[in-house]
Amino acid sequence: MPTAQSRWITIAALAALGILCLALRSDAIPTGRAHLSMRMKALPRRTLWVWERPEDLRAIDPATTAIAWLDQTVELGWDVVSVPRRQSFSYPAEAARIAVVRIEAPPGIKLDVAQQHQAVDLLLQSANQPGIAAFQVDFDATRSQRAFYASLLADLRRQMPASLPLSITALASWCSSDDWIADLPIDEAVPMLFRMEPDRIHARAGLPQFQIREPLCMGSVGVSTHEAWPDDMAGKRIYVFPDRGWHQDISLLTDRKLP
């Protein structure tokens, strides 16, 4: 007959074993943002933005290059309007694809919950497309629009496919001097280090206030074909915007060696 002391020892040992199993399980099967971020890292390091131009990208190497194409523009005004992509483009069937939705809202307009729900419904039309590797939102939210944007992203994340990574573009100041995106339910924020507007009106690029400090911004960078690229790009995912369209600028990538 086991004694009371031996029974307590057995219970304690089983409890410790249970805790150890839970720890091993959580390590073996990544979940949450860490798991999604690993999915982003599995994409090719170079991604070509395909904006509203007809493009032929069939010559790219899918092993090294992904595409992020503008699928629609959502305009937030008195009404919420979707402007679908009008220009066709072609690409290799094996290429990793990221659907992008641009959001535009006039400064000063009051944004409410009804507009948020309408916008999320439109975003989900792009995010639910079969075969995409990630989904990206492009919105230069002003200070007065940040609460709306944060709520929209939380609503979107809840309704998106659970395994689909969520990326956003970010003003350089969001990633450096202006700390407001740390708690957004996203897997990456791509600092836009070209055309620096509206940041350029405050200070020129290269000053200390544009040093990347936000962890969400440290894994990727957005650059353009005709502006200088930053030095600290080693190991990052590089998103490239074509200033004159890829039919003219694709040759410029030959001279742009990825660090």
- List, as one string, the DSSP characters of 160-228: S-TTS-EEEEE-GGGGTT----TTSS-SEEEEB-SS-TTGGGTS-TTSGGGS---GGGTTEEEEESSSP
CA distances from 202 to 36, 139, 206, 222 (A): 34, 19, 12, 20
Percent of the chain with pLDDT over 90: 64
* Number of Cβ atoms within 10 Å of the Cβ of 114: 9
| Max Cα distance, the chain (Å) | 86
Q: Residue 101: which pLDDT band, with cuts at 50, 70 and 90? A: very high
Residue-wise pLDDT for 132-186, tens only, equals: 999 999 999 999 999 999 999 999 999 999 999 999 999 988 998 788 999 999 9
The whole-number pLDDT of residue 31 equals 41
78: helix, coil or strand?
coil
Residue-wise pLDDT for 3-59, tens only, equals: 555 554 444 444 444 433 333 333 333 344 555 567 788 899 999 999 999 999 999
Q: Which residues pair with 122 in a beta bridge?
A: none
Q: If we measure between CA atoms, which residue out of 225, 235, 230 comes closest to residue 255?
A: 225
More confident residue, 84 or 37: 84
Q: How many CA atoms does the CB half-sphere of 57 hold within 13 Å?
A: 32
Burial of 177 (0-12, 13-18, 19+ CB in 10 A): middle
Sequence-distant (≥ 6) Cβ neighbours of residue 20 within 8 angstroms: none
The whole-number pLDDT of residue 33 equals 55
Angstrom distance (rounded) from CA 95 to CA 101: 19
pLDDT above 60 (res 95): yes
Q: If we measure between CA atoms, which residue out of 220, 168, 219, 174 comes closest to residue 196?
A: 174
Q: What are phi and psi of 204, to 5 degrees?
A: -75, 155
Q: Which residue has the tokens 């999320």?
A: 120
The whole-number pLDDT of residue 207 equals 53
* Number of Cβ atoms within 10 Å of the Cβ of 124: 17
The whole-number pLDDT of residue 148 equals 97
Q: Where are the alpha helices (DSSP H) in the chain?
A: 4-28, 32-41, 113-127, 146-159, 246-249
pLDDT above 60 (res 72): yes
The whole-number pLDDT of residue 230 equals 85
Among left, alpha and beta (phi > 0; psi -120 to 50; other), residue 131 is left
Residue-wise pLDDT for 210-227, tens only, equals: 688 899 999 999 999 998
What's the mean pLDDT in 115-139? 97
Q: What is the pTM of this model?
A: 0.83
The whole-number pLDDT of residue 121 equals 98
